[in-house]
Structure 1
Amino acid sequence: MATLVLTALGTAVGGPIGGAIGGVLGNLVDRRVLGTAREGPRLTELAVQTSSYGTPIPQLFGAIRVAGTVIWATDLKEARGGGGGGGGKGQPTTTTYSYSASFAVLLSARAIRRVGRIWADGRLIRGAAGDLKVKATLRVHTGGEDQPVDPLIASAEGAAPAYRGMAYLVWEDLPLAEFGNRLPSLTVEVVADDAPVSTATVAAAMVAGAAGGTATVAGFAASGSVRGVLAVLAGLEDGWWMPVGAGLRLATASDEARSIEDAGVGVAALEGPARGRSIAPLDRVPRTIEIGHYEAARDYQAGLQRAVRPGPGRSTQRTEMPVVLTAPGAKTLADRMLARAEADRTRRTMTLGLAGMEIVPGMVAAIAGEAGRWRVLDATVTGMATRLTLAPVAPTMLPSTRASGGRVAAAVDAPIGATLLHVAELPALDDTLLAAPRLTVLAGGAGAGWRQAALLWSADGGASWTPAGTTGAPAVIGTVEAIAPVATTTVRDMAGAIVVQLARADTMLDDADDAGLVDGANLAVIGGELMQFGHAEPLGDRRWRLTRLLRARRGSDAGAAGGRFALIEPAAVRTIDLPLAAIGAEIRVLASGVGDADPVEVRTRLTGASVRPPAPVHLHYADGVLRWTRRSRAGWRWSDGVEAPLVEETEAYRVTVTAGDVAGGDVVSDVATDRPWLAIPTMADATVTVRQVGTWAESAAVSLRWDG
């Protein structure tokens, strides 16, 4: 006598994903439609980028974040450059090496709509608006049937596939310095469909003739066995698969119940009672069920929700679902799975006559004389009788409203914008005695996401360029709208004011007290002038009024309205050391940041201001003697209260007497002296100027005019 056992598909969703699913119309149909493997897609497979042969490529639906698989890569490209100068006499030049890579990452085994954000080692390198935050080239191939071969892969390999029907992206010359000079682990936000996807859509893509349910999710990644994918879909619906004709249908507790009645005790074909009932111990049921999932509100990072029952037992069952769910949605799913597991403790058996041949595993049944609704798990047909195994339909669970996915430190998606560059030859910002001229570089960006730019300089009109490393931390940069003339350089100017407009609304200026000013707080550069301010008053529209001023610090030249303003903070400062022979030449500096379509250029005339002594002060004439006071490139804090240190190799001055106005008169005398005074007879209608002669350059001139 032949025996045919029919088993319902999807009795449970367990294990890593999918768990045991059973057969459809016997093993023959089961293997033909679904295959034999039970392993489904795993959550972790989407989080770590791989390059292993045989790695499954998911079919993506909706919107989800995946790592993908590296399918092609070039060797690392090495670039050699200078380090930007360390400064000073006897210090060696630093040679730096940078690396970049070109590679392709396969994302989806079906076509997609577009790619959104991209992270590298957790850092956002492509924003939601499509703006790259690294200096590289990105091409996205969405997987259309007319998809061309990528030009870079074709040029490197000669013959290359187009990967039609598969979505992938190609990075060209991605810089690796920020990732430890290695290929970073990428994760990509992929939008495969423009709206949430239904279980019916995914099921139909997996198995021809499969009819899914009505539940929708924001994103879904189907990989592994078809059985495992269908198990995930059944879990999302709190349902199970049943055969319908040549296909499958997702059945749920809401299906119409088929009324069944046993054939009585007298059925001779089967042994045992016509009806049976068993209840497994409670500790056979997991005490905790955990659902791993992706959560869009947390940048698609993995989340975990759990349901816990009271009573005995310690086991935990974790189901990883490569599905984008809200935290309440995942919590509801865990509650439903736990309720299903508890309900499945009870098993009923019934024996039917010929009418039982119409009962298909997966049907919802109402047993005559019994309360509740039952799910047919399997049917054993022997001779003229059918024995059914049934389990109670789990009660419907109300959606959870108490779940939370927790907080996440989401990557800031801020625009980068163009580089704002300020270059000035300034005195040393500390007491370092420079032996060669130095340019000070400060840079920021028009957007809040700006971080740095590469630097080059040229002293020969652009015929050759020397690498100078990268800019420092983003500086607070603006422009000078109004500026008071320099009233004094020795005491605080309490009457004058400077009005500046900052480039960005998210930057600001702070006050500094007297002790802070002494320690160098609120040091800024206006053109080529170093200055400090004690009070910053916001005026609106990014404008600030600066008062309590200390002007022309360290002997720098006075600035003017319309020039660049930049706040000097140690981390923001970069310097370029130049040869002495470059004094007098025009220096061109280029900065190239991620947001710059073309490099930003600044040109400045190298005057030697960084290595020359400050101009003398207190120039006066009395009793036939011209006197002045020397200043120094060092000892600015004047901590000992005595004369500032000389620091130049010798003390020397050049005194020039010019007839008439200093700008256009004839030189009457040009005298060198090694003392801060000089005997000069009284002269009518003449101008006398004094310059200190330093080791590397002369100071600016200080002048005194005689009218008669």
Structure 2
Amino acid sequence: MATLILTAVGSAVGGPIGGAIGALIGQAADHALFGAKRREGPRLVELAVQTSSYGAQIPRLYGTIRVAGTVIWATDLIESRSSSHSGKGQPGVSTYSYAASFAVLLSARAIRRVGRIWAEGKLLRGAAGDFKTATGFRLHLGGEDQAVDPLIASAEGPSPAYRGAAYAVFEMLQLADFGNRIPSLTFEVVADEGPVLVSTIARALAGEVSGTATLAVGGFAASGGSVRAVLEMLGQAGGAWFAPSGAGLVMRDAAGATVAVADEGFSAEARGVRRTRAVAAIETVPRTVTVGYYDAARDYQAGLQRARRPGAGVRDLSIEVPAVLEAGAAKTVAETMLARAEAGRVRRTVAAGFAAMAIAPGSCVTVPGEGGVWRVADVSIEGMVTSLGLVPLVAASLPASATSGRVSGAVDALVGATILRAFEVAGLDDVPLSAPRMTVVAAGMGAAWRQAALLYSVDDGVSWVAAGATAAPGVIGTIAVVALAAPSTLIDLRGAFEVVLAHPDMALGDADAAGLDRGVNLALLGDELVQFGRAEPLGGARWRLSMLLRGRRGTEAAAGAQAIGDRFVALEEETARTFDLPVAVLGRDVRVLASGVADTAPVETRCVMLGASVVPPAPAHLAYRPEADGSATVSWVRRSRAGWRWIDGVDAPLAEEREAYRVTVSGAGAGGARTIEVTAPSVTVSAVERIGPVVVTVRQRGVFGESPPATVTIAP
């Protein structure tokens, strides 16, 4: 049953701040955002960990930024089971898979879209909008007319629509890749297109704020204990400050307009008012300023940039800016903050005339006899004299160059459509099979393909068997150049195949003699099983295969019968999924369906079950010996589906209920053809039958059928 984790979430940054903010004008602006009043500002780490706590902070998002969000609803794990059987007398195998549906609240204001999604640090959804794991997905953008999500409503009944807040809903996310639990997710959220001025953010958070500040950020997450804390942090990072303007505030920086303090025809000295200058010790200035920020070049992970000054002092200043910046822009912020701190050592107090009473704290002024532009820190009026406390302004630092460091973002590889191959070959070990076996190998057109769900039908689609999922992605391609036929008893050092794999991320490797003896580098080319000792990349996805062992495991009849475009499938235990089927399928086609994450419709193939997995291999070394009476004795060596390696050099194990052969003798003397049933590996052709050429064909009889034929021609 579903569980409503949060029936309400913490308030977002916002609400009226009333009057001026901050110590600049001495009025409080600590309106609480989440519960009790706090002066805490936003922190970088708060966006890195996904939560599901009641009352958790939900930031207001601006620009483009990566956030974890808060899980607000989830179902229990949904279990699915599929069964497969390994043949008659063998126990069935049950495979369990798990999925979950849940919702994640992203932003306390409306957004435009969601880009990439990470799960446990790996991409769940790529930049192209493709999911790497099977899931349903819906995004609610946070409009004021937002409807209740139908899945949540069906599970919970009356439910909130979270109007004005953006959230995402995952439906039946498959959890096999995440340890069968809901993974920790982070989202690339686009709230506003393009960079955003910090003054625009300040104005959105508090309507009383106006003005323009020139620093632009790629994205920003407004959260924390109070609007004041957020605005102060924005001002500190952007070199801006707040000044009263009517009933509200104006956000200013060094690029704003200046006011010239009028001389009014008299000097401060003539009125007995002195100009004073105070310089603080260099030790009051930080030696270093460190800025923490979100770096888009590092998939929005936290970055650090630092500015240093020479000279005395031990104090360091660090500021965390939950904003998306380029490395150079963050370095520029650090250097500008350090330059402002150095300039702030100097403080001027000047006296002006009556007209200066209109100059408010926070204004930028120029003063006769004083160079540069000054910020008014405070104003005092005594009699008819207005005293201005001034702090020098510094021009913005030149853009700094900086690097984001080593960038190792999550690989955004496309999944691509499923490629499916189903075929019947002899068992890949020396244990004879007790039922016909179909082998399935699958991959994808993209490197991120991982699995596809399988179904198969042995009655031409009348009924289907759920067969779990494919094995690990295989190496699949097509034949581009066909090697000429060669005997299976020697290493083919002259012939070579060229194959084109499904995508360039697939790769093949070499094998030495010991590896070939163990059976490595076995591949199906057309209908022939081939081992290759050398795999040479030719560029792109094309490979040349040489040092060939042909006709492996009884497929010598298919050697040289391939055509350009025929299948290439590398056979490895971890990539092959096998199914033991009823004996009744022999002589039929088995239909196989696969459905992967990127498949718009199931992918289908067919496997022709002719018994290659269970019938004996064709007899070997057919030869004849003429006898004195004109007859000929034909003999052969028995082969076995239980002794492919033939290590001891003697007769291979029988692996059948009894030894039996069907021999056909064809020729003019035989009256066309005659069939002989024998139980030993030899037969006699009479002198009469040897009037002309005689063709002798031998098939070994097995439990499930006869072997392919082996043939010898006896000269007259």
Matched, 1:600 2:607: no
Letter in 1 for 2:683: L
Q: Contact conserved, 2:242 with 2:249, CA < 8 A, in 1?
A: yes
Q: Contact conserved, 2:87 with 2:581, CA < 8 A, in 1?
A: no
Aligned to 1:572: 575
Residue range with higher mean Cα deviation, 579-588 or 212-221: 579-588
Distance in 2, matches of 1:387 and 1:36, equals: 36
Tell me the SS of whatever aligns to 2:331. helix
Q: Contact conserved, 1:203 with 1:212, CA < 8 A, in 2?
A: no
Aligned to 1:229: 230
Aligned to 1:65: 66
| Equivalent of 1:626 in 634, 641, 648 | 634
Distance in 2, matches of 1:538 and 1:406, equals: 33
Superposition deviation, residue 204 in structure 1: 2.3
| Equivalent of 1:676 in 677, 681, 695 | 681
The 5-angstrom pairing of residues 199-598 of structure 1 reads 199-208=198-207, 209-224=209-224, 225-254=226-255, 255-259=257-261, 279-348=279-348, 357-366=357-366, 373-379=373-379, 389-394=389-394, 396-401=396-401, 403-480=402-479, 483=482, 486-494=485-493, 496=495, 498-507=497-506, 517-534=516-533, 546-556=545-555, 558=558, 560-561=562-563, 562-580=565-583, 582-598=585-601
Tell me the SS of whatever aligns to 1:328. helix
Aligned to 1:13: none
Matched, 1:648 2:649: no
Distance in 1, matches of 2:541 and 2:260, equals: 74
Distance in 2, matches of 1:40 and 1:541, equals: 52
Distance in 2, matches of 1:316 and 1:571, equals: 55
Q: Contact conserved, 2:75 with 2:100, CA < 8 A, in 1?
A: yes
| Equivalent of 1:701 in 694, 703, 709 | 709
Q: Contact conserved, 2:30 with 2:39, CA < 8 A, in 1?
A: no
Q: Contact conserved, 2:666 with 2:695, CA < 8 A, in 1?
A: yes
Superposition deviation, residue 179 in structure 1: 0.8
Aligned to 2:158: 159
Deviations 1:21-64 (A, max 9, x none): 72464426x46899974322222222222222222222222221
CA pair 620-500 structure 1, distance change in 2 beyond 3 A: same
Q: Contact conserved, 1:691 with 1:701, CA < 8 A, in 2?
A: yes
CA pair 318-81 structure 1, distance change in 2 beyond 3 A: farther
The 5-angstrom pairing of residues 2-81 of structure 1 reads 22-23=22-23, 25-27=25-27, 30=29, 37-81=38-82
Superposition deviation, residue 77 in structure 1: 1.0
Q: Contact conserved, 1:655 with 1:688, CA < 8 A, in 2?
A: no
CA pair 543-284 structure 1, distance change in 2 beyond 3 A: closer
Residue range with higher mean Cα deviation, 184-193 or 234-243: 234-243
CA pair 383-57 structure 1, distance change in 2 beyond 3 A: farther
Letter in 2 for 1:573: A
Superposition deviation, residue 75 in structure 1: 1.8
Q: Contact conserved, 1:657 with 1:686, CA < 8 A, in 2?
A: no
Tell me the SS of whatever aligns to 1:94. strand
Q: Contact conserved, 2:432 with 2:655, CA < 8 A, in 1?
A: no
Superposition deviation, residue 144 in structure 1: 2.9
Q: Contact conserved, 2:295 with 2:326, CA < 8 A, in 1?
A: yes
CA pair 503-372 structure 1, distance change in 2 beyond 3 A: closer
CA pair 244-547 structure 1, distance change in 2 beyond 3 A: same
Superposition deviation, residue 599 in structure 1: 1.9
Q: Contact conserved, 1:350 with 1:387, CA < 8 A, in 2?
A: yes
Residue range with higher mean Cα deviation, 180-189 or 44-53: 44-53
Q: Contact conserved, 1:257 with 1:373, CA < 8 A, in 2?
A: no
Deviations 1:508-527 (A, max 9, x none): 55665666544545421024
Aligned to 1:657: 664
Distance in 2, matches of 1:36 and 1:352, equals: 41
Aligned to 1:119: 118
Distance in 2, matches of 1:156 and 1:468, equals: 30
Structure 1 unmatched ranges of 5 or more:
1-19, 268-272
Distance in 2, matches of 1:507 and 1:436, equals: 33
CA pair 277-107 structure 1, distance change in 2 beyond 3 A: same
Tell me the SS of whatever aligns to 1:329. helix
Tell me the SS of whatever aligns to 1:221. strand
| Equivalent of 1:611 in 610, 614, 632 | 614
CA pair 382-660 structure 1, distance change in 2 beyond 3 A: farther
Q: Contact conserved, 1:108 with 1:166, CA < 8 A, in 2?
A: yes
Superposition deviation, residue 406 in structure 1: 0.7
Q: Contact conserved, 1:265 with 1:274, CA < 8 A, in 2?
A: no
Distance in 2, matches of 1:502 and 1:538, equals: 11
Tell me the SS of whatever aligns to 1:613. coil
TM-score, normalization by structure 1: 0.85
Tell me the SS of whatever aligns to 2:491. coil
Aligned to 1:190: 189
Tell me the SS of whatever aligns to 1:189. strand
Aligned length: 675
Superposition deviation, residue 100 in structure 1: 0.9
| Equivalent of 2:699 in 680, 691, 700 | 691
TM-score, normalization by structure 2: 0.84
CA pair 80-385 structure 1, distance change in 2 beyond 3 A: farther
Aligned to 2:131: 132
CA pair 247-625 structure 1, distance change in 2 beyond 3 A: same
Superposition deviation, residue 549 in structure 1: 3.5
CA pair 549-32 structure 1, distance change in 2 beyond 3 A: closer
Distance in 2, matches of 1:677 and 1:549, equals: 32
Aligned to 2:3: none
Deviations 1:643-699 (A, max 9, x none): 2531525660222336669xxx997444140x3223343536875432334455543
CA pair 540-50 structure 1, distance change in 2 beyond 3 A: closer
CA pair 497-66 structure 1, distance change in 2 beyond 3 A: same
Distance in 1, matches of 2:175 and 2:382, equals: 69
Superposition deviation, residue 412 in structure 1: 2.0
Aligned residues: CA RMSD: 3.6
CA pair 88-157 structure 1, distance change in 2 beyond 3 A: closer
Letter in 1 for 2:677: V
CA pair 366-99 structure 1, distance change in 2 beyond 3 A: same
Aligned to 1:3: none
Distance in 2, matches of 1:33 and 1:671, equals: 97
Tell me the SS of whatever aligns to 2:661. strand
% same residue: 54
